[in-house]
Amino acid sequence: MATLPAVKQFSDRVNRIEISATMAVVAEAAKLKAGGADLVEFGAGEPHFATPQHIKDAAIAAIQQNFTRYTAVSGIPELRAAIVKRHATDFGSNYKPEEAIVSTGGKLALFNAIQVLVDHGDEVILPVPYWVSFKDIIEYAGGRCVYVETDEADGFQLTAEMIERNVTPRTRAIVINSPNNPSGAVLAPEEFTAILKMAHRRGIYVIADECYVYLNFNGSFSAGSVAEAREHTVIVGSLSKTYAMTGWRLGYALAPAPITSAFTKLQSQNTSSTAHMIQKAAVAALTGPQDCVAEMKAGYIQLRDQILAELATIPRITCSRPEGAFYVYPNVSAYFGRNGINSAGEVSRRLLHEAHVVTVPGEAFGTRDHIRLSYATSAAEITKGLKWMRDWFAKL
Ligand SMILES: Cc1ncc(COP(=O)(O)O)c(C=O)c1O
C-alpha cells in the first residue's frame, strides 16, 4: 500500500502551545471522580464561595428585562464607567471609560493584550514561578519568554534590579502578576513602582495581571496608581476571584486609548462582546456593596494560616508564606529519590492516584521542586486533604 505523504495537521502557532496544566489536572481528577473516587481538590484556582446574591439577582433581572443582545465590542458604557470608577476609588487611578475594555474573562483580556503588543521575535520578561498560561499565550503570539528566577528563600520576591538585568533591545514587555499565582508573593510597592518607571523610560510595556489585586492580605497596590508610567502600563483585571465569579467569564483591561482601540479591533474579530446580562451583573458587582470582598479575603487569610500550619507538620516539606491570592507552593524536593519519585510531576500524579489529593505540579509554573495547592476550599477539606498527604508522604 502506498504511504501517504505526511500532512501538517495543525498550524505552527497552535503546535507551539500546550493545554493549560491546571485544566489538565482538573480533567484527570474529574475522570477519577466519575469512577466514584472521593477526592480532596486543591487543584483548580477558583473561589469556593458562592457568587454574592445581589450579583446573581442583577443577572436574573437583566435576563427578564431582555438585556440579551450583542453590545458594543468594548462593553456597555455603564460597565466601562463602573470599572474605572471602582479602580479610581480603590487605587487612586484616573482612567477614562474609553481606556477600559471588557473581555470574556481576564484570560482573554491577557491573550488579546499580548496579541496586540507582542510580535514574532519580541522578548517578554516573565518572572518565575509564573501562572501557567502566560508562557503559552506569549509563545502563541510568537514572543520569546525571558525568565527571571525568584528564590523561595526570599519568599519569591522580585526586585526592579532583577528585571532590569534582563532587559535587552528586543524587550517588548514585562509581565507582572502580583499577588502571584502560584506562590502568593506580593511585589513590594516600591519595587513595582521602580519597574513601571524603568519600563516607561525604556518604552517597554508592563502587563500587570491584577486578577488577585483584591486578595492582597497586607496592603493594596495597583500598577494603575503610578500615573507617570501609565503610557506603558496595561492592567488586566477580573471579577472571577474578587467576587467569586469564575464561571461568569468577566474580565477587563485598563490601558491607554490607542491600546484599547487595537484591542477592540482584535476582539471585534474574535468574541465580539461579553454576554449582555453578565455585563449587567458586573455593574452590580462593581457598584454594589463591597463587604463581600472583605469577608472573602478574611476567609482566605484564615485558610492560609490553617494550611500553612498543617503543612508544617509534614516532615521535610518547606513552604514560603503567601501574602496574597489563595495558593500555597510547598517545596517537596526532599522526597525526590524515595520510592521512585524524582519530580514534582511524579509527586502530584501519585498524590492524585494514591492519596486522592488533587494538586498541580510546579513544572507547570516553571519550577521543579514545588507543587501548588489552592486553599480556596473549606477548613474541613483542608484538614482531610492534609491528613491524606501526611500519611502518603510518611509511607515514602
Ligand atoms: C494569574 C491569573 N491571571 C488570570 C487568570 C484568569 O482568570 P479569568 O479568566 O477567570 O478572569 C487567572 C485564573 O486562574 C490567574 O490565576
Write the pLDDT tens digit of every residue in 199-224: 999 999 999 999 999 999 999 999 99
What DSSP string describes 21-37? Answer: HHHHHHHHHHHHHHTT-
Q: How much distance in Å is there from the Cα of 25 to the middle of ligand 1?
A: 16
Q: Which of 83, 181, 329 has the most ligand 1 atoms within 8 A of CB, as the residue to mutate?
A: 181
State the chain's mean pLDDT as an integer. 95
Question: 333 CB under 6 A from ligand 1?
Answer: no
Can you tell me which residue has the cell 519550577? 367
CA distance from start to end of the chain: 52
Nearest to 87 by CA among 299, 312, 242: 242
Question: 182 CB under 6 A from ligand 1?
Answer: no
Residue 125's SS3 state is: strand
Query: 3-state DSSP call for residue 171?
Result: strand
pLDDT of 81 strictly over 70 = yes
Ligand 1 atom with least separation from CA of 250:
11
Q: Write out the three cell numbers for 76.
A: 456597555
C-alpha cell at 208: 500587570
Cα–Cα nearest to 264, from 72, 9, 13: 72
User: What separation in angstroms does the CA of 4 have from each of 8, 11, 118, 168?
Assistant: 12, 20, 38, 46
Would you give the distance in Å from CA 4 to the centre of its chain? Answer: 44
Please report, as a single letter, which amino acid is at residue 126.
Answer: L
DSSP structure class, residue 247: G
39 Cα distance to chain centroid: 24
Q: Which residue, chain included where needed, has cell 476571584?
A: 241
Share of the chain above pLDDT 90, in %: 92
Is 238 a pocket residue for ligand 1 (Cβ < 6 Å)? yes
Over residues 334-366, the pLDDT tens digits come to 999 999 999 999 999 999 999 999 999 999 999
Quote the pLDDT of residue 20.
Answer: 73
**Its pTM surpasses 0.85:** yes
Ligand 1 site-directed mutation target among 102, 240, 365, most atoms within 8 Å of CB: 240
Alpha carbons within 13 A on the beta-carbon side of 243: 27
Choose which residue among 101, 112, 131 to substitute to test ligand 1 binding: the one with the highest number of ligand atoms within 8 A of its C-beta: 131
Distance 374 CA to ligand 1 centre (A): 13
pLDDT tens per residue across span 26-75 = 788 999 999 999 999 999 889 999 999 999 999 999 999 999 999 999 99
Helices (H), the chain: 12-15, 21-34, 53-64, 77-91, 106-117, 132-140, 160-164, 189-202, 257-269, 276-287, 291-311, 344-350, 379-394
CA distance 149 to 170: 19
- Structure confidence at residue 2 (pLDDT): 65
Max Cα separation, the chain?
71
Can you give 312-378 as a three-state secondary structure string? CCCCCCECCCCCECCEECCECHHHCCCCCCCCHHHHHHHHHHHHCEECEEHHHHCCCCEEEEECCCC
1, pLDDT greater than 70: no
Question: In this predicted structure, what is the pLDDT of residue 69?
Answer: 97
Phi and psi, residue 309, nearest 5° = -65, -40
Whole-number pLDDT of residue 6: 75
Using CA positions, which residue lies closest to atom 2 of ligand 1?
A: 211
